[in-house]
Structure 1
Amino acid sequence: MTIPILDAKKVIRLSLSIAALFLVSLFFANMVSAHGYVSKPESRALLCADGVNYDCGAVVYEPQSLEGPGNFPEAGVPDGQIASAGGVFPKLDEQSADRWAKVPISSGPYAFEWTLTAAHATANWDYYITKEGWDPNDPLERSDFELFCSIDDNGKRPDFTVTHNCDIPDRSGYHVIFAYWEVYDTANAFYQVIDVTFDGEGEVPGPDPGDGEDNGDNEAPAWDANAVYLSGDKVSYNGLIYEAKWWSQNDVPGETSVWELVGEGEEEPPTETDPPEETDPPVDSDYPAWSTDTIYLGGDRVTHDGQTYEALWWTLGENPTNSNVWIQI
């Protein structure tokens, strides 16, 4: 049977559409497959997630997702979008002398630390710092930075905690350090900027050097299934203290490798009648019901099983009740 020419064209268009959708799905699957942020000193994105920086946009949910095109500085993201990895979270590109909290730091030897939520084969790690005389009230550009430390991993897959010993050049006052993680087997890289001050008057206190029984472990807040936790956050659950090893939401302490047991709390383990009764948030009828065949973008809201959810990033076919792509509102 001969297929009409018009029908054959429709078949070709349909085939191309399916292929395009498949490639888009692969792209976004790759974008969320490997993540990481600088946890020491705390990056601009991490301080947003910790509530120290304000008015940051959706990066508060995923400071580990600042992924953009690689091969910086020859290629990569445009000038003015270095902090946001090419506009992924545009609020991060706002730049002025007093826009962001600053981490106290000193010139000389320093151990930079990355926390990875997915370890990706790595090409290299590069560290840049703003030059003397840079303008803190202008958008960040390539010409503002100079490279001071580089580590070549030659495709090695890193641990979930990565430490690099570098020598920070002499500086004074407010500067921006740009940490860059180039992935080995994709064309992408991760971008993290860190606001620092070399005069010892930063707005972010350093970590508590104390340890042992007086380190505050027994004062950790109770674990909350709806909260977003980052590496180093501590919670109490069933009379025990747990510390998050990387980004977490809905991961029950003691039941997943996200949490590490670090101590015991002061209170007795709660009984089955101890937890307060949970009440369901009101469902906004203006939001459509979630559909397994619909593509949702960050900020889209749906209803499902009597609850309202908001997408944190692109998603297709991921059930809101058991996926970190969705947050209950």
Structure 2
Amino acid sequence: MAQRSFWCKWMVSCGMMLLVGACTLVFAESASAHGYIESPASRAYLCKQGLNKDCGQIRWEPQSVEGPGSFPQSGPPDGQLAGTSRFPELNVQTADRWHKVNIRGGNNTFQWYLTAPHATKEWKYYITRKGWNPDKPLARADLELFCHYYDGGKRPPNTVTHTCNVPTDRSGYHVILGVWEIADTGNAFYQAMDVNLVNGVSNVQVPSAHHKSSIGNYRVL
């Protein structure tokens, strides 16, 4: 009887360990999604590259700009859309605070690098409206949706590319906000891109060395 009792306790103990291990794996799976936009280079990625200065912790983890999902109905509050509450340095918004990436309107490829892919609901891209004020904190009212891809819970590869038609009815400094909505958590990842948008000009000179970027295929000459 003592031996049987020992084996019963051992089996129960093993079962509990397996259950805890499985739960740990599930939790790690749900918590491990991370990624950033590398082209056109995002604000966070340019912090990693050293082109954006005084960025705080995001310099070492551009993939970690995570916040509440279901944007824009939910998500980070206005004024925290670029860095969420985790990286307040990214939320600073002025006309000359951030390095600009030069792109043209029309079809552009947006490329994410996922350090930890995860089941995905959708990808959304917003751009600041005509006449927005670049010296005020970024708010929902400043943004309009221009591109959307629905994944329906599929797990993406490490590199994800989307072709989006960037508006051609505005020029100059604009912010593009990419949102990666996770399928089975309540969170999303946010990536702000500071772009010098060029439309209606056949031969464009980069405005200054401070704003010039040759990362990716978006240098305008």
Residue 204 of structure 1, CA deviation: 1.3
- The structure whose residues are more often helix, as a share, is 2
Letter of the 1:164 counterpart: H
Q: Distance in 2 between matches of 1:30 and 1:179?
A: 23
The 3-state SS of whatever aligns with 1:98 is coil
CA distance in structure 1 between the partners assigned to 2:29 and 2:187 by the alignment: 10
Number of matched residues?
A: 184
Q: How many angstroms apart in 2 are the aligned matches of 1:38 and 1:99?
A: 19
- Distance in 1 between the 2:183 and 2:39 partners? 23
TM-score (norm 1): 0.53
Contact 2:147 2:164 in 1 (8 A): yes
Residue of structure 1 equivalent to 2:212? 203
How big is each residue's C-alpha offset from its partner over 1:43-97, in whole Å with a ceiling of 9 and x where there is no partner? 0000001100000000001000001110100011100000012x11100001000
1:91 is aligned, of 89, 93, 102, to: 89
* Matching residue of 1:113: 111
Q: Which amino acid aligns with 1:45?
A: A
Q: State the structure with bigger RCO (CA 8 A, min sep 6), 1 or 2.
A: 2
**In structure 1, C-alpha distance between the alignment counterparts of 2:185 and 2:63, rounded to whole Å:** 17
CA contact (8 A) 1:114 1:162 kept: yes
Q: 3-state SS of the aligned residue for 2:57? A: helix
Aligned to 1:142: 140
Counterpart residue identity of residue 205, structure 1: S
Q: For 2:217 and 2:118, locate their aligned partners in 1 and report how far apart those are by CA, in whole Å.
A: 31
- The verdict on how the C-alpha distance between 1:187 and 1:105 changes in structure 2, with shifts beyond 3 A counting, is same
Correspondence 1:66 to 2:62: no
TM, length-normalised to structure 2: 0.79
- State the shift of 1:101 in Å: 0.0
Q: Check whether the contact 1:120–1:158 (CA below 8 A) recurs between aligned residues.
A: yes
Unaligned runs of 5+ in 2: 1-23, 199-203
Say which SS state the counterpart of residue 63 (structure 2) adopts. coil
Distance verdict in 2 for CA 1:207–1:42, change over 3 Å: closer
The Cα of 1:30 is off from its aligned counterpart by: 6.3
Quote the RMSD (CA, aligned, Å).
2.1
Name structure 1 gaps, 5 residues minimum.
1-24, 210-329
1:159 aligns with 2:166: no
2:90 maps to a residue whose letter is L
Asked whether the 8 Å contact 2:125–2:146 carries over to 1, the reply is: yes
* Alpha-carbon distance change, 89 to 31 in structure 1, aligned in 2, over 3 angstroms: farther
Aligned pair in 2 of structure 1 residues 207, 82: CA closer, same or farther (>3 Å)? closer
For the pair shown, the structure with the greater C-alpha radius of gyration is: 1
- Distance in structure 2 (CA, Å) of the matches to 1:30 and 1:91: 28
Q: Which has more strand, going by share of residues?
A: 2
Q: Which residue does the alignment assign to 1:187?
A: 186
SS of match in other structure, 1:48:
helix
Q: Which amino acid aligns with 2:122?
A: N
**Contact 1:104 1:206 (C-alpha < 8 Å) held by counterparts:** no
Query: 1:31 touches 1:67 (CA, 8 Å); kept in 2?
Result: no
Q: Which amino acid aligns with 1:130?
A: T
Partner-residue secondary structure (3-state), 1:105: strand
In the aligned structure 1, how far is the partner of 2:31 from the partner of 2:96?
32
Matched residue, 2:201:
none
The aligned counterpart of 1:53 is 52
Secondary structure, counterpart of 2:156 in structure 1? coil
